[in-house]
Amino acid sequence: MRYGTKGQGLLALSDVSLDIAEGEFLSLLGPSGCGKSTLLRLIGDLLQPTGGEIRLRGKAAARARLDRDYGMVFQSPVLYDWRTVAKNVQLPLEIMRVPRVERRERTRRLLRLVGLQEFENRFPWELSGGMQQRVAIARALSFQPGILLMDEPFGALDEMTRDRLNLELLNVWSETGTTIVFVTHSIPEAVFLSDRIAVMSPRPGRVDAVVPVDLPRPRDASTREDPDFFDLIKLIRSHLKENL
């Protein structure tokens, strides 16, 4: 897949082939510049590939975007300053013309799911970074997209907050059953969360290995103490080293 201005397209990704199962939690892991964010944007039809194809439940990516199959979460929460927490969560629903009563009902449920029910009338800038990112997740889930695309959503948070939000995300994932594609450059985070990890390397971006993570679910803090957890981290680290 190439993208960029015509003629001088940069080869960002080559020969990437991935199948993602319904309801799966898949991580794209790799160093910066390996094209993992690019791949995520290609899946979400925020960028167009110069070759190859992306299909979601048999649909082309562009069709899937128009059908509102994608929920996006970025590294920064991108909340609208002038909207309350609840109104931010409702934004996609307003755009999709969901009736007001249902909007309220869904917002309340989602804010409860991410533990922010008491903050619905606060403004984003009154919340901590971790809370803002939880609002962004609730917003992405509000229209019940088939697949959640997350681009280093916890990359800007401190480690303690990140660990807690990892747990909460697994909880949200198991409650909603959404498919999640999760971009990260943190090996422990990928191992803790994923069913499978696509290990990527740069220049040009490619998938070197797809590592299944067979740690038992539900996972919790004790998972991080599991010897298998460390073995997987070691395995992935060796994959990354091989291909640098």
Partner 1 sequence: MTGAALELGSAAVPGSRPKSRLQGRILDLAAIIGVFALVVGFWYLAAIYYNLGSLRLHYDDLGQLGYWNHLGFWRQAGAALNWSTPTLPAPHQVLANLWSRLDESPSASGNLWVDLGTTGSEAVLGFLLGSAVGIALAFAFVKSRILELSLFPYVVMSQTVPIVALVPALVVALGLGLRAKVLIAAYLAFYPVTVSAVKGLRSINPLAHELMRSYAAGAWQTYLKLRLPAALPFIFTGLKIGITASVIGAIIAELPVGSEFGFGRAIIDASTYGQNILLWATIAGCGLLGLALYLAVVGTEKLVVRNRPGEV
By the criterion CB under 8 A, which residues form the site for partner 1?
41, 44, 46, 65-68, 70-72, 74, 76, 78, 80-82, 84, 91-92, 94-96, 123, 125, 143
Provide the 3-class DSSP secondary structure of residue 218.
coil
Task: State the minimum distance, in angstroms, from the CB of residue 78 to partner 1.
Answer: 5
Cβ nearer to partner 1, comparing 63 with 108: 63
Task: State the minimum distance, in angstroms, from the CB of residue 238 to partner 1.
Answer: 34
> What are residue 151's phi and psi, to 5 degrees?
-105, 95
Cβ nearer to partner 1, comparing 50 with 76: 76
The position carrying tokens 């800007």 is 156
For helices 129-141 and 159-176, what crossing angle results, to 10°? 20
CB 115 within 8 A of CB 168: yes
Cβ nearer to partner 1, comparing 97 with 241: 97
User: What's the rounded Cα separation, in Å, for the pair 87 and 10?
Assistant: 39
Cβ nearer to partner 1, comparing 95 with 221: 95
Task: State the minimum distance, in angstroms, from the CB of residue 91 to partner 1.
Answer: 7
Tokens of 175: 């409650």
User: What's the rounded Cα separation, in Å, for the pair 131 and 117?
Assistant: 11
Task: State the minimum distance, in angstroms, from the CB of residue 59 to partner 1.
Answer: 13
Q: How many CA atoms lie within 13 A of 197 on its CB side?
A: 27
For helices 129-141 and 100-113, what crossing angle results, to 10°? 130
Cβ nearer to partner 1, comparing 6 with 97: 97
Q: Are strands 179-184 and 147-151 parallel, antiparallel or unpaired?
A: parallel
Task: State the minimum distance, in angstroms, from the CB of residue 111 to partner 1.
Answer: 18
Task: State the minimum distance, in angstroms, from the CB of residue 194 to partner 1.
Answer: 22
Cβ nearer to partner 1, comparing 184 with 201: 184
CA dihedral 60, 198, 216, 223 (to 10 degrees): -130
Residue 29's nearest CA partner among 241, 236, 243, 238 is 236
Cβ nearer to partner 1, comparing 80 with 230: 80
Task: State the minimum distance, in angstroms, from the CB of residue 77 to partner 1.
Answer: 9
